[in-house]
Amino acid sequence: MLRTLAATIGAVLALTAAPALAAPAIDRSFPAPTPNSAPDPFYTPPATLPDGAPGDVIRARPAKAGPPTARSLANAWQVMYLSTDALGARDAVTGTVLIPKAVNPATAPVVAFNPGTTGPAFRCAVSRFINSGAFYEQSMVNALLERGYAVVVTDYEGYRQDPDTTYIVGRSMGPAVLDMVRAATRLPEAGLASRPKVAVHGFSQGGGASMWAGQLQPAYAPDIDLRGVSGGGVPANLASTALSLNGTPAFGFFLSALIGLDNAYPELKLDSYLNDTGRATLAKMEAGDCTVQLLLDYDGKQASDYTTTLPFSDLPWLLRVAQNELGKTKIEAPVYQYHAPNDDIVPFDQAATLREKYCALGMSVQWRTFDTGHVTTVGRGNAAALSFIADRFAGVPPVSNCGA
């Protein structure tokens, strides 16, 4: 397994360091986005991926920036772009580029806003939610647009008609975030600078994605001028986070995490751990379950309801989880990390441990807690996150409270 891990990391670094390939011609022939419940061929990757580098745009089309308020703020495009999966192989990912109407895009900073849990089904792709005006974190996107930032939002890997999502897998999320930034700068319609100031921001799954983007950026995307990394409610340790959900209202997130890890690492063979109920349930989830269904349909369920053996008890699963544990690599940019001690979905202790690991690496970490639950911290923590991002773009020296 250590050799496999070394080969995976080597493949990622080799791909990044390879000589530049000619960017593919951007395909703009796809019709307008369809409703979330309808098929949409835009999301089906080409049978053979075109030559090009991570972040090159494969296809693009105009889209809606959200509900009417958002549409008054920004123009939007859906894109498919080249990226890298958790095993270091080339893949295609989709997402949304939003450019505020009130600024000159050539001078606008870029914020990669990384979404929280949406669900494993194709209809849950964030770009589809944004276009239909149903994205539950739209207010956070709007707050960034109102400040004059260009905003890019990845769907993460695997949102297509036959979904193959990699929920919560950091080594998939990190490249997807970084290459979403690259894709926006390579989309001519966006008009962005080739190397703008960049920050990454998100909560829950999005907080984890932000930290992974920060950790991978120096080696994977040194061309990105990353000024700051903001993440709240971060699931730093997948095993402790997932196991804490057993029997809770958010147990559906546990099942979604099993799907994500299995899709990222096919050798895990999740099907061999499932009973008949588990097989039918996970097929149902991938066919249509989004966040609301994950919370309502699996409230209080147990892993034993769906499995014959708990996957996290076996070495192959533990090794892959260990590869996706945050805190082993330094983030060069300043970090703002926040969490609620009473978080009822993502355990506080593992997030506090992440902060300690980052501080031990000599990083600049601004750590803050909020006396709220998981969901309510999304709103409560965002104002300070916006201030942190504004300071990074303005060149204000960061404040670290690692010694506190």
* pLDDT, tens digit (0-9, with 9 covering 90-100), for 228-238: 999 999 999 99
pLDDT in tens, 87-103: 999 999 999 999 999 99
Tell me the average pLDDT across 340-345.
94
57-79: average pLDDT: 97
Q: Are 190 and 100 a contacting pair, CB within 8 Å?
A: no
Across the range 3-10, mean pLDDT stands at 40
- pLDDT score, position 10: 42
- 347-361 mean pLDDT: 97
3-state secondary structure (DSSP) of residue 143: helix
Mean pLDDT within 122-137: 97
DSSP 325-338: -SSSS--SS-EEEE
Per-residue pLDDT for 63 more than 90? yes
What confidence tens digit (pLDDT) does each residue in 171-211 have? 999 999 999 999 999 999 999 999 999 999 999 999 999 99
- First-to-final CA distance of the chain: 38
Compute how many other C-beta atoms are within 10 angstroms of the C-beta atom of residue 7. 12
- Of residues 373 and 210, more confidence is placed in 210
Q: Give the per-residue pLDDT at 255.
A: 97
> Is residue 78 predicted with pLDDT exceeding 60?
yes
Asked whether the predicted pLDDT for residue 123 surpasses 60, the reply is yes
pLDDT tens profile 26-36: 999 999 999 98
pLDDT of the residue at 9 = 40
Helices (H), 133-237: 138-146, 170-185, 205-220
| Residue 259 predicted with pLDDT over 70 | yes
Examine the pLDDT at 19 and tell me if it is beyond 70.
no
Q: Read off the pLDDT of each residue in 370-394 and give the average, rounded to a whole number.
A: 94
Q: How many CB atoms neighbour CB 144 within 10 A?
A: 25
Q: Residue 301 gets which letter from DSSP?
A: -
Predicted confidence (pLDDT) per residue in 273-306, tens digit: 999 999 999 999 999 999 999 999 999 999 999 9
Tell me, rounded to whole angstroms, the distance of Cα 152 from its chain centroid. Answer: 11
Q: What is the pLDDT of residue 216?
A: 98
**Is the pLDDT assigned to residue 17 strictly greater than 60?**
no
- What percent of the chain is predicted at pLDDT more than 70? 95
Q: What is the DSSP letter of 307?
A: B
- What's residue 172's pLDDT? 98
Which overall architecture, per CATH, does domain 2-237+323-394 show? 3-Layer(aba) Sandwich (3.40)
Computed over every residue of the chain, the mean pLDDT equals 94
3-state DSSP assignment of residue 82? strand
What are the angstrom distances between the C-alpha of 32 and each of 40, 81, 123, 129, 315? 9, 18, 16, 14, 46
- pLDDT confidence band for 20 (50 / 70 / 90): low
- DSSP-assigned beta bridge partners for residue 93: 81
Structure confidence at residue 6 as a pLDDT band (50, 70, 90):
very low
